[in-house]
Amino acid sequence: MKPYVICHMLASIDGKIDGSFLRAVTGAGDYESTGAMLKGDAWVCGRITMQQHFADNAPFISASNRPAGPQPVYVARRSQSYAISVDTIGKLRWSKNNIDGDHLICVVSERVPEDYLILLRKKKISYIVTGKVSVDLVQAIKLLGKHFGIKRLLLEGGGHINGAFLEAGLIDEVSLLVVPGIDGRTTIPAVFDGVNSSIKKAVQLKLKSVEQRKNGTLWIRYSVIDQ
């Protein structure tokens, strides 16, 4: 069973997602408290977001550089809630097997070094190895449902992992907090970024609800119309 995927993001009115830049126009805790209302049993982020906010500062350096190749799913434990990182070649170093109590699952490709997986097992961190060169997101989502019982997954950025989920047709809903601010910088990723430029039409959405908040923030929810 594929989990239901909600992409939950905060953005300026020009769709940029640098949270620290937008802090002055964002209500304290708004992103997190709104996310909690979506009642996910897991949340997932791309490698860059995980590095910025949650993983250890120093990256993992492999001693062997021997790719692990295909591997069975490793379930260190089942949990009520999960934090999931998508990290193609195992760059992120983790000292704990949870983020604020959410059990950590690392999703990596077959290029991940063997000694990275040994370290994860030692730390009782669960993992999924899927995809020869890059992570096979479609397969990863199926395995998250099958092995961990995840039913409702919050996709929480950044822009490039969101773009990849979108391209793979995995997103069911978008939950967007539009804060009253403008960014405008070209270097900052958008809510959905890095999508193949050969795609010629917008992904169609259906408005579910709009909530206007006191500080001028809008909480907009859309369903993704099947492609």
Ligand X SMILES: NC(=O)c1ccc[n+]([C@@H]2O[C@H](COP(=O)([O-])OP(=O)(O)OC[C@H]3O[C@@H](n4cnc5c(N)ncnc54)[C@H](OP(=O)(O)O)[C@@H]3O)[C@@H](O)[C@H]2O)c1
- What does the binding site for ligand X look like in residue numbers (CB under 6 A)? 9-11, 17-19, 31, 45-49, 52, 86-89, 91, 134-135, 137, 156-161, 164, 189, 193
Closest separation in Å from C-beta 20 to ligand X:
7
Is the Cβ of residue 77 or residue 211 nearer to ligand X in the bound state? 211
Is the Cβ of residue 4 or residue 54 nearer to ligand X in the bound state? 54
Closest separation in Å from C-beta 4 to ligand X:
19
Is the Cβ of residue 78 or residue 173 nearer to ligand X in the bound state? 173
179 burial level (CB within 10 Å; 0-12, 13-18, 19+): buried
Distance between CA 4 and CA 174 in Å, rounded?
11
- Between strands 42-46 and 82-86, the pairing is parallel
Is the Cβ of residue 79 or residue 157 nearer to ligand X in the bound state? 157
Tokens matching residue 117: 């997986």
Closest separation in Å from C-beta 3 to ligand X:
17
Tokens matching residue 222: 């859309």
| Amino acid at position 127, single letter | Y
Is the Cβ of residue 113 or residue 189 nearer to ligand X in the bound state? 189
Closest separation in Å from C-beta 104 to ligand X:
16
Distance between CA 53 and CA 89 in Å, rounded?
19
Closest separation in Å from C-beta 113 to ligand X:
13
Closest CA to 150 of 44, 51, 17: 44
In 3-state terms the chain splits into helix, strand, coil percentages (rounded to 5) of: 20, 25, 50
Closest separation in Å from C-beta 156 to ligand X:
5
Phi, psi of 119 (to 5 degrees): -65, -40
Is the Cβ of residue 19 or residue 67 nearer to ligand X in the bound state? 19
Residue with smallest beta-carbon separation from ligand X: 158
